[in-house]
A and B are shown apart, each in its own frame.
Chain A
Amino acid sequence: METVMVVEVLGGHGRVRARHRIAASGGEVQCTVGRGARCDVVLDDPFVAAVHARIAVDAEGTVTVSDLESVNGVEIGGRRLHGVEQVRLADGVLRVGRTRLRVRTEREVIAPEQPDRGAPSWQARASEQRVLAAGVAVSVAVTVFEVWTSTAQPRELPTTLVAMLLVMLALAGVWIALWALASRVAFGESRWVRHAVIVFVVYAVLSVVALVAEIVNSALGLHVSSTVAAAVLVGVGASTALSSHLVNASPMRARIAVTIGVTIPAVIIAAILWTQTRNENRSPSHIADHDRILPPALLWRRGLPFDGFTAEFADLRARADARRAFVEREDPSPDEDDSE
């Protein structure tokens, strides 16, 4: 014997805008839906009749919807019904006018309570803010270090520093604001702290890793191609950032968001790298530089002995000939360039 049903009026993103609890009267549970004040569930929807439909639950818990001769009818499971016609409701969702309603009964199977192992919400927020603070601090520190390193005239340092920091913060601010806007559209909440964390943490990690990699590369005299290393690094950073932003700013499933977030940067960077490599392999003026000059204290490995280095010249001629054969085959008549 059913004693109660709940009719929920749904808004955007499936959110419940209003909830009506209907108790049994006279042995059955039922209610009317419409714009009129006499209805049990009053909707503010111009496409709904004064008394639009009736919803009832019988003793077995079956929900039945009747259209009360409305103009627009009732939409259930993609079908629209008109006139007095009774239809059983399967998943509990129906549409009246442009409003979606969900009907819940006593027989609804309720998922078990999930144990909350996470930190209390204030604590979660606080830890997110701590990560943000750390990310911002490292990003600012890296920028300050870069500016300090590269400013030619030390007395210009303060102005350059202020300008660079303002530019960095302004760009980050615009970027975060755009994603926060996307989050608000998708979920109704801005999540700006989350987006700020993504931007600053990715930037901080990327800068630190790049700097360390560059120092190690030169200190050990590895001469790893910086073009490829930089592309990989930027690719990983951009993919992480974009995926995280998308997960937090779009209702799509996480797997799809990550796929998109990884694919877009990967395709763009691969295209740039391909074009660049292709041009370099054909240009007679390109000389790659895989070394960064560091203070002598950071030179951790001695250089090659003179004879060892000059012995390495042996294959240069063969390699130059191979490059000649390559361009003669792949690029027999390039445009006459106007260099010189």
Chain B
Amino acid sequence: MLVLGAACVAHAQGRPPGAGPDVPDTGGEAEALRQAVPPAAAASTTARGILDRVRPAMIQIKGFFGTNTAEAFHGSGFAVARGGVFITNWHVVSDAVLYPEKYRLEYRAPTGATGRVTVRAIDVRHDLALVEAHGFAPASLSLRPDVAIKGERAYSVGFPLDVGLTITEGVSNGRVEDSFEPRVHYSGALNPGMSGGPGLDSSANVIGVNVAGYRASQLVAFLVPVEHAVALLARAEKSPLDARRARDEIASQLRAHSEALLTALGSKLPTQSHHGYELPAKLAPFVECRAAGDPAPDQPVHVERVTCDAKSSVYLGRNMYPGGLTFQHQVMRTYTLDAWRFANRMQEAKAPHGTFGPARQLAPFACKQNNVELNGFTANATVCLRAYRKLDGIYDLNVRVVSKNGLKQGFVSSLSLTGVAADRALAFARTYLDAMQWKP
């Protein structure tokens, strides 16, 4: 999926050998290209102009572990307000916010100026952070909150792979359709280290903030629409964010995120029939569902797997992507097996159960398991809740339902809802169970 978060933050070892600190804006190769392909020449001239205008407002943000002078991670940032206020990605500064005693942040401007960076405000949902670069206050870039139209020329600037300030050129494909989190689809190169840099239109107005690219795809990248940067700027505080307040802020942002997600899903879930069982299906346009199965005709048990993902998880920190909603149904049928052996296959199908997560961040599950009468059939349901260890009032929900009414058919369904308030999660568990129905 998305190469979000830490993956975007190039680590020191990811740096290509021999890469210098600065890469010239145009080189001999570009010069050759300019002669070969005339339309690109005009664009590149624009790129040069944009880079000249953007360069003074850019900083590279570097994170250091302890007192080390070798960096632990890095990203980009650009000036959005007077007084040295910069926008970057939350995932660039998350380690320093969550573990201020272990990490420190510094900036390095293209002019060579360096200094301390403090975080002033965060927006975990949209992966944004507002930081202050001490002793460096360039003129800010102008923000353009309306989303660029599909096909408009766009540019992205940042410090990819620690090879120096770089501009890439591409096309804005407008707002991503069927995405829970607002994203601008930028068809251009976005590489680790460019996180937090600006996405620009051809007049050097900021249309978004570089956030993610698909590692396996070509030139499919995303920008956070700049309106969220504007909103963050509006509620920035004067004092730096301490870890305690940051955690409260994260918790409340996660609650707002899951509240928005569950509200978008509604209280009556759409279902699809699977051999007599009505099971929750594509709950909303932004939920992505895939169905597959073993096509071999002579298997004693035919299994269909439907997996749905709201793709709504947000990067929180190392190995932590809460805010997501996924569910899976395994619908099983047999023509050849008797009821006893079929029941045993069902038993095996539910066996690899359990969701993983870092033990430092998550407490163990508390569960409730029982046989329950759902609409028209008996099922065994397990509903589990686990608390986040460092965030108050945030939980993960895990539900597993196994049908118990079929001699020759049945299903195992599991639901995972992460980073959500407890009562909201349990209400959704109820909605999920209530949607299931046996309609032979």
Contacts and interface: CB of A to CB of B under 8 A. Distances in A.
Interface of A: 148-150, 152-154, 221, 223, 280-297, 299, 301-306, 309-310, 312-313, 316-317, 319-324, 326-328, 331, 333-337, 339-340
B346 A293 contact: yes
Nearest to B388: A324
B359 A152 contact: no
- CB-CB nearest 3 A-B residue pairs: A303-B371, A295-B339, A319-B366
Contacts of B360: 333-334, 336
Given A285-B357, A295-B339, A296-B404, A316 B350 contact: no
Contacts of A293: 343-344, 346-347, 350, 380, 402, 404, 410
Contacts of B358: 284, 336-337, 339-340
Given A152-B301, A301-B371, A320-B386, 20 more contacts: A285-B354, A287-B355, A287-B382, A291-B369, A293-B404, A294-B340, A295-B343, A296-B404, A302-B378, A303-B379, A303-B380, A309-B368, A310-B430, A316-B368, A316-B385, A316-B422, A320-B422, A322-B366, A323-B387, A339-B356
Interface string B348-389: 101101111111111111111111111000111111111111
Interface centre among B348, B364, B423 (most CB of A within 10 A): B364
B328 to A, nearest CB: 15
A159 B246 CA distance: 62
Nearest to B365: A287
A281 B367 CA distance: 12
Contacts of B337: 154
Contacts of A324: 363, 386-389
Contact of A292 (B342, B347, B365, B433): B347
30 contacts: A149-B340, A154-B337, A280-B364, A284-B362, A284-B363, A284-B364, A284-B386, A285-B354, A289-B353, A291-B369, A291-B402, A296-B404, A299-B404, A303-B372, A304-B371, A304-B372, A306-B433, A309-B381, A310-B426, A312-B370, A313-B430, A317-B385, A320-B386, A321-B387, A324-B387, A324-B388, A324-B389, A326-B363, A327-B389, A334-B359
B370 A221 contact: yes
A32 B380 CA distance: 86
Contacts of B274: none
In terms of DSSP, what is the predominant structure of the interface of chain A? loop
A300 B422 CA distance: 33
In terms of DSSP, what is the predominant structure of the interface of chain B? mixed
B85 interface: no
A223 B356 contact: no
A329 to B, nearest CB: 11
B382 to A, nearest CB: 7
B151 interface: no
Contact of A288 (B318, B359, B367): B367
B369 A339 contact: no
A97 B359 CA distance: 70
B45 interface: no
A223 B344 contact: no
Given A152-B345, A303-B373, A337 B359 contact: yes
Contacts of B382: 287, 289
Nearest to B383: A313
Interface residues of B, number: 69
A317 B423 contact: yes
Nearest to A328: B389
Contacts of B370: 221, 223, 303-304, 309, 312
Contacts of B350: 289, 293
Contacts of A306: 372-374, 433-434
A332 to B, nearest CB: 9
B275 interface: no
Nearest to B404: A299
A299 B357 CA distance: 35
A120 B181 CA distance: 87
Interface in B398-440: 398, 400, 402, 404-407, 410, 422-423, 426, 429-430, 433-434
B303 to A, nearest CB: 11
A159 B408 CA distance: 26
A289 B383 CA distance: 11
B222 interface: no
Nearest to A154: B300
B94 to A, nearest CB: 15
Contacts of B318: 336
Interface string B304-326: 00000000000000110000000
B133 to A, nearest CB: 31
